[in-house]
Amino acid sequence: MFEILGKYSRYYVFSSLLLIVAIFVRMLEPKVLQIAVDKVIVYFQSGGKISFVPEDPITKFLYSLLPTFSMENLNSILIGIGIIFLAISLVRELSHLLPALLPPRLPRKQ
C-alpha cells in the first residue's frame, strides 16, 4: 500500500489516526451525559442519599475530573461537566477539521 501511495502515504496515516481519535471522542460524549443525567441529577434529587460509584474506567476518569459531590456545590459540578463536554466537543471538531487541511493534490491514476 505504501508503494502505491508513495510520498502521500503519511497523509493517509495521519488521516487514519485522526479518524481513530474522532471515534474515541465520539464515545466519550455519551459518557459525560450519562454522568450528568444518571448520577448527578439522581444524587441531588435524592438529597445526597444515593451515592454514585463509577462502573467503567472511562466513567471513573471523567468522574475524577469533577469536584467532590456535596449538596452545596451543584453549580460547580454542572460547570465542570459543561467544561468537560465543551473540551470533548472541541477535540471532536478539530479531528474533523484537520483532514480538510491536508493537501488535495493526491495522486490519481488515469
For 51-77, the pLDDT digits (tens) are 777 778 888 888 888 888 888 888 888
62 CB burial (10 A radius; 0-12, 13-18, 19+): buried
pLDDT, tens only, 74-95: 888 889 999 999 998 888 888 7
**Is residue 19 situated within a structural domain?**
yes
Count of structural domains within the chain: 1
Residue 86 domain-assigned (yes or no)? yes
The answer to the question of residue 108 being in a domain is no
- pLDDT band with cut points at 50, 70 and 90 for residue 102: low
**Is this prediction's pTM over 0.75?**
no
Residue 106 belongs to a domain: no
For residues 55 and 78, give the distance between their C-alpha atoms in angstroms, rounded to a whole number: 20
Q: Does the pLDDT value for residue 50 go beyond 60?
A: yes
Inside any domain, residue 57: yes
Q: Does residue 53 belong to any structural domain of this protein?
A: yes
The three cell numbers of residue 18 are: 485522526
Q: In this structure, is residue 109 part of a structural domain?
A: no
The answer as to whether 85 is a domain residue is yes
Can you give the residue range of the structural domain that contains 86? 2-101
